[in-house]
């Protein structure tokens, strides 16, 4: 009888160890060079500098490149040190909206948006038209 109790304890211990290893093996590995893209609203070179700087100031972001024409921000980040929400929060804090799927947005607080340079007011249709005209002129010169 004592032998069967010992065998049960050993068997249960082995199962617990096996389950522990299985759970550990299933953990998602965090990539130290994860490539991520998000869309950020803005319209000019000053917006570009502000957005990229905000992203790069986030611990774990190694690379940030934003395009004024596509609004796409390409990032290389260390997922062990940061996550997308932290990067988005830093961009929102400097006054730029995050563009999501289905025309939805995460809107920067009015105080942050109002702190951007007057030519960077990407929510103002007149300012957008002014920048589109400048973009057309730049394209013709190339």
* Tens-place pLDDT, residues 11-39: 788 787 777 666 555 556 777 888 999 99
What residues form DSSP beta bridges with 36? Answer: 75
The pLDDT of 83-96, averaged and rounded, is 96
The structure's pTM equals 0.72
Residue 138 has which token pair? 């730049």
In 3D space, the residue among 94, 61, 103, 98 whose CA is nearest the CA of residue 78 turns out to be: 61
Domain ranges within the chain, ordered by starting residue = 34-141
CATH number attached to the domain at 34-141? 3.30.70.100
Q: pLDDT tens digits, residue range 100-128?
A: 988 899 999 999 999 999 989 999 888 88
């Amino acid at each position: 009888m004592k032998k069967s109790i010992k065998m049960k304890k050993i068997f249960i211990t082995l199962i617990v160890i096996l389950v522990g290893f299985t759970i550990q093996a299933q953990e998602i590995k965090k990539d130290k060079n994860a490539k991520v893209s998000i869309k950020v609203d803005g319209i000019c070179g000053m917006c570009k500098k502000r957005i990229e700087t905000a992203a790069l100031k986030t611990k774990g972001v190694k690379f940030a490149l934003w395009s004024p024409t596509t609004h796409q921000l390409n990032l290389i980040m260390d997922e062990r040190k940061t996550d997308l929400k932290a990067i988005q929060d830093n961009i929102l804090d400097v006054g730029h909206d995050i563009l999501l799927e289905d025309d939805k947005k995460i809107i920067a607080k009015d105080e942050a948006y109002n702190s951007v340079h007057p030519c960077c007011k990407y929510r103002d249709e007149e300012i957008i038209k002014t920048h589109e005209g400048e973009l057309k002129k730049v394209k013709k010169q190339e």
